[in-house]
Amino acid sequence: MSLLAIAGLTALGAALGRLVYGRLSASPPPKETAASVVAAAALPKAKVDGFPTELFAAKPGDVVLRGNEEAWLAGAWILEEGRGRDARAVFAVFFAPEAGKDVLVVLSGDSSKEILWLDLPVPMDGVPPSTLEIDDIRFERLRKRPFGVRRFGAAPEAPEEGTLVEFSGPVGERLWAFVAPGHTRAGRGVSLAEGMYDLLGGDAAAS
């Protein structure tokens, strides 16, 4: 092959290379897959394996709406009476660490739609007396009883057992304390009947 032909082929190859490179560099970057977009938009889902959903109106991963406030229920303590196979779930204490403040949402296992919205932490050391006065509000003890504890989702580490103390104040004011060494949780708030709040299931909240 002559030198002229070789030079021509070389020039043609270089031109084609520049053309292909130009088109590739001008192409837009590949779009994210639909799966990655959905994954990025979804809320974190709390593990609920074994959670007694048949007893409680809410479960970890749900969202409670109260007016302009909302609480994502990251996890829960289930308070139980009895031991082993005889254990019976009585209360679900939900923890909402992303509510902008420490919020506890308490549900009863008696199929009641009433919830306790406890958004005012109460310092407590040991089992409280039968009456308490906080910010000029008088609270009377309703009941005190022991419970075992099971932990679900992203709830704080739980004790094996503790003492629940419930108080009632004026106009729906409630005070609720679960006392256990190193794990005491206590809060003030209000009782909300059905219709005074909204509950979004975890799947709906993530959509």
Domain residue spans of the chain:
1-30, 43-205
CA proximity to 46, closest of 21, 18, 23, 74 = 74
Q: What is the torsional sign of CA 146, 74, 108, 168? A: positive
Per-residue pLDDT, 201: 87
Distance from C-alpha of 172 to C-alpha of 117, rounded to nearest angstrom: 11
pLDDT top residue among 107 and 34: 107
- Reduced to 3 states, what is the DSSP secondary structure of residue 60? coil
Q: According to the model, what pLDDT value does residue 28 have?
A: 42
Inter-CA distances, 145 with 80, 97, 129, 188, Å: 11, 27, 13, 19
The pLDDT score that the predictor gives to residue 172 is: 85
Model confidence at 2: pLDDT above 50: no
Q: What is the mean pLDDT of residues 143-151?
A: 96
Q: What is the CA radius of gyration of the chain?
A: 29
Tokens 């739980």 locate to 158
Please tell me the number of Cα atoms within 13 Å of 100 on its side-chain side.
4
Mapped onto helix, strand or coil, the DSSP state of residue 102 is coil
Residue-level pLDDT at 47: 55
